[in-house]
Structure 1
Amino acid sequence: MNRTANVVRMQLINKKIFVWLPLTIFGAAFAISLIIYGAIYASVSDLTDPIYGGASQAPLWYFAVIGIQAMSLTFPFSQAMSVTRREFYLGTTLTALLASIGLAVLYVIGGLIEKATDGWGIDGYFFAVPWIWNQGPAAAGLLYFMAPMLTFTIGFFAATVYKRFGMLTLVLIGIGLAAAIALAILGISLGGGWPAVGRWFTGLTPVAVGGYGLVLVAALSGVSYATLRRAIP
């Protein structure tokens, strides 16, 4: 356990990867959104609908970059320090878990403030997106936790495949996924299944999406660990 904690400290030596860059992106996206919301609120006299934007996704997507860097920058150093692959994996995953929880807490607190202030007094919402908050703050927190964990895991998985098999294999996996999606779209179109697909998507709840996402996180994590065991530093 102590060696796993050492990996957490190792990942946080360069705090800008897990802490400062996500917070910078978070703060910049929030500030720019508020400026835009304020401009719309001040310039549109007959505004009746709340103002929403998609900038709140920016810090969540950045966790894919964190996953790549956590593997590619720190893994070689960890092996030189005689850290086992299992300890490196557990420590890195724990670091991502803590960072994702921290980000989710910020989003939930921000959403509660937005609801209490009617969108910062200008009816503009960065955190409290209606569908995400349909089942309350706990469900929103689950979704906001799942999203960075999923993007981190995807980035970590990609970096692990690159370390183990090289760029060609990584590109082939990407092509295979794109081909599978294209074939699925073709099959649904030929079978007239889009209405059913649409009903399934519209019937999803934040808790369901959060749960499905965490299942995918678990699956990708298992594959990543199996690949990491034979990865070359």
Structure 2
Amino acid sequence: MTALIAGSRRGAAPFDVLRLHFSQRALLLRTPPGIMLVVFALTVIIAIIFWRAGSVPGSAEWVQNSRNNAAVFWALPGFLGWLGVQTVSLTFPLALSLGCTRRSFVAGTVITHVALSLYVTAMLLVLLAIELATGHWFFDIYMTDVTILGSGNPFQLALTTFLSTLFVLSIGGAFAAAWVRFGALGPTALGVVLVLALGIVAILLVPLASAFQPWWLVVASTTMIVMSIVGQYVLLRRASVR
């Protein structure tokens, strides 16, 4: 924040906005590992329950069922979505009061979201490396070596984690920008438009379902991320500071 205040005379740069966001580094950096710790504890408990029920650790059935565990993928979006909203709705008025331009704020927020996405990706890659090195936590426990993250493929895990994290943060930021610009009506209208657009796209793509390729998801998520970032700037460009 000191850097942002010092730079208010010349106009704060995007990296000053990054520093402003990371003034809450305890929240940003400690919460994801905390959530992963809870996921790991629950995964261990469930594995022990199945073991006590007669399942054999390491068997083909055990591995298949364990790799269908998507808890690590679905545990973070709630927090990340809230964080995406907070980084825009709560920080925008403060940043502008300290001399930040709207363009610099959006650019700094995007850099923050990218940094957080890289952080979450690095965290899961470290967990995957430990999981594989220990023979799945010494008890055939599958947390990151799961199907939705590439079944132990670090490249696929990294790509999936980075894009999905940045996607949720960007969508959260877009909804927050709609709220800042139009009040409660903004997120509601944006939600309706988003649902209708996704519905139309789904109807158009139904005939192509049999030809589905995983890279379509990469293109779709990247497109949504870019649209969300553009939407943040368009909405915040004329938003009043409250």
- The residue type paired with residue 227 of structure 1 is L
Is the 1:41–1:122 contact (alpha carbons within 8 Å) kept by the matching residues of 2? no
Question: Structure 2 matches for 1:220-231, cutoff 5 A?
Answer: 220-231=228-239
Residue 218 of structure 1: how far off its partner (Å): 1.4
Residue 36 of structure 1: how far off its partner (Å): 2.0
Q: 1:135 to 1:58 in 2, by over 3 A?
A: closer
Q: Does 1:81 align with 2:133?
A: no
Name the CA distance, whole Å, in 2 between partners of 1:172 and 1:24: 34
SS of residue in 2 equivalent to 1:93: helix
Aligned partner of 2:192 in structure 1 is 175
Aligned partner of 1:133 in structure 2 is 150
Is the 2:21–2:112 contact (alpha carbons within 8 Å) kept by the matching residues of 1? yes
Aligned partner of 1:232 in structure 2 is 240
Name the CA distance, whole Å, in 1 between partners of 2:207 and 2:54: 37
Is the 2:131–2:137 contact (alpha carbons within 8 Å) kept by the matching residues of 1? yes
> TM-score normalised to the size of structure 1?
0.83
* Number of matched pairs: 224
The runs of 5 or more residues in structure 1 that have no matched partner are none
TM-align CA RMSD: 2.6
Name the CA distance, whole Å, in 2 between partners of 1:10 and 1:228: 18
- The residue type paired with residue 40 of structure 2 is F
Name the CA distance, whole Å, in 2 between partners of 1:96 and 1:122: 35
Q: Which of 7, 24, 29 matches 1:14?
A: 24
Q: 1:211 to 1:27 in 2, by over 3 A?
A: farther
Is the 1:112–1:128 contact (alpha carbons within 8 Å) kept by the matching residues of 2? no
Is the 2:177–2:235 contact (alpha carbons within 8 Å) kept by the matching residues of 1? yes
Name the CA distance, whole Å, in 2 between partners of 1:59 and 1:228: 26
Identity of aligned residues (%): 24
Name the CA distance, whole Å, in 2 between partners of 1:216 and 1:184: 13
Is the 1:17–1:66 contact (alpha carbons within 8 Å) kept by the matching residues of 2? no
Q: 1:46 to 1:14 in 2, by over 3 A?
A: closer
Q: Does 1:63 align with 2:80?
A: yes
1:119-175 deviation line (CA, Å, top 9, x unaligned): 213222111113532693122201111111000000000000111122123212222
Q: 1:219 to 1:141 in 2, by over 3 A?
A: same
Is the 2:173–2:228 contact (alpha carbons within 8 Å) kept by the matching residues of 1? no
Name the CA distance, whole Å, in 1 between partners of 2:151 and 2:39: 23
Is the 2:145–2:151 contact (alpha carbons within 8 Å) kept by the matching residues of 1? no
- The residue type paired with residue 91 of structure 2 is T
Q: Which of 33, 44, 50 matches 1:34?
A: 44
Question: Structure 2 matches for 1:209-224, cutoff 5 A?
Answer: 209-224=217-232
Aligned partner of 2:6 in structure 1 is none
Is the 2:12–2:100 contact (alpha carbons within 8 Å) kept by the matching residues of 1? no
Q: 1:121 to 1:139 in 2, by over 3 A?
A: same
Residue 42 of structure 1: how far off its partner (Å): 4.0
Name the CA distance, whole Å, in 2 between partners of 1:7 and 1:181: 32
1:21-40 deviation line (CA, Å, top 9, x unaligned): 23322222222222322332
Segment drifting more, 63-72 vs 110-119: 110-119
Q: 1:2 to 1:138 in 2, by over 3 A?
A: farther
Segment drifting more, 162-171 vs 107-116: 107-116
Q: Does 1:162 align with 2:179?
A: yes
Segment drifting more, 50-59 vs 129-138: 129-138
Segment drifting more, 168-177 vs 90-99: 168-177
Is the 2:70–2:148 contact (alpha carbons within 8 Å) kept by the matching residues of 1? no
Segment drifting more, 98-107 vs 214-223: 214-223
1:22-63 deviation line (CA, Å, top 9, x unaligned): 332222222222232233234424453222422212124421
Name the CA distance, whole Å, in 2 between partners of 1:218 and 1:34: 38
Segment drifting more, 127-136 vs 63-72: 127-136
